[in-house]
Amino acid sequence: MRTISHFVNGQTLEGTSGRFGDVFNPNTGEVQARVQLASDAELDAAVQAAAAAQIGWAATNPQRRARVMFEFKRLIERDMNALAEMLSSEHGKVVADSKGDIQRGLEVIEFACGIPHILKGEYTEGAGPGIDVYSMRQPLGVCAGITPFNFPAMIPMWMFGISIAVGNSFILKPSEKDPTVPVRLAELMMEAGAPAGVLNVVHGDKTAVDAILTHPLIRAVSFVGSSDIAHYVYQTGTAHGKRVQAMGGAKNHGIVLPDADLDQVVKDLSGAAFGSAGERCMALPVVVPVGKKTGDELRERMVAEMQTLKVGISTDLDAHYGPVVSAQHRAKISDYIRIGVEEGAELVVDGRDFALQGFEKGFFIGPSLFDGVKKGMKTYQEEIFGPVLQIVRAETFEEALALPSEHQYGNGVAIFTRNGKAAREFASRVNVGMVGINVPIPVPVAYHTFGGWKRSAFGDTNQHGVEGVKFYTKVKTITARWPEGDHEGDAFVIPTMK
Report the C-alpha gap between 343 and 327 in whole angstroms: 24
Contact 130, 145 (CB under 8 A): no
For the chain, percent helix, then strand, then coil, each to nearest 5? 40, 25, 35
Report the C-alpha gap between 413 and 394 in whole angstroms: 16
DSSP letters, 164-212, are HHTT-EEEEE--TTS-HHHHHHHHHHHHTTPPTTSEEE---SHHHHHHH
Closest contact distance (angstroms) between CB of 478 and ligand NAD is 36
Burial of 193 (0-12, 13-18, 19+ CB in 10 A): middle
Check 43, 108, 194, 281 and give the catalytic one.
Answer: 281
φ/ψ of residue 473, rounded to 5: -135, 165
Closest contact distance (angstroms) between CB of 406 and ligand NAD is 19
The identity of residue 250, as a single letter, is A
- Nearest Cα to 167, choosing from 151, 143, 186? 143
Report the C-alpha gap between 124 and 133 in whole angstroms: 5
Catalytic (active site) residue 143: no
Report the C-alpha gap between 229 and 279 in whole angstroms: 17
Burial of 388 (0-12, 13-18, 19+ CB in 10 A): buried
Closest contact distance (angstroms) between CB of 116 and ligand NAD is 27
- Nearest Cα to 391, choosing from 414, 416, 374, 378? 374
Report the C-alpha gap between 225 and 56 in whole angstroms: 32
Give 393 or 407: the residue with its C-beta nearer to ligand NAD: 407
Give 88 or 456: the residue with its C-beta nearer to ligand NAD: 456
Closest contact distance (angstroms) between CB of 450 and ligand NAD is 6
Contact 336, 383 (CB under 8 A): no
Closest contact distance (angstroms) between CB of 227 and ligand NAD is 7
Closest contact distance (angstroms) between CB of 484 and ligand NAD is 55
Closest contact distance (angstroms) between CB of 224 and ligand NAD is 5
- Nearest Cα to 247, choosing from 168, 169, 157, 155? 155
Report the C-alpha gap between 215 and 491 in whole angstroms: 44
Helical spans, DSSP H, in 261-396? 262-274, 292-307, 327-343, 378-381
Binding site for ligand NAD (CB under 6 A): 146-151, 173, 175-176, 205-206, 209, 224-226, 229, 247-250, 281, 383, 385, 411, 452, 456
Q: In what order do the strands lie in the sheet with 412-416?
A: 346-349, 368-371, 388-391, 286-289, 253-256, 412-416, 434-437
Tell me the residue nearest to ligand NAD as measured from the CB: 225
Closest contact distance (angstroms) between CB of 315 and ligand NAD is 23
Give the residue numbers annotated as catalytic, written as ranges. Answer: 281
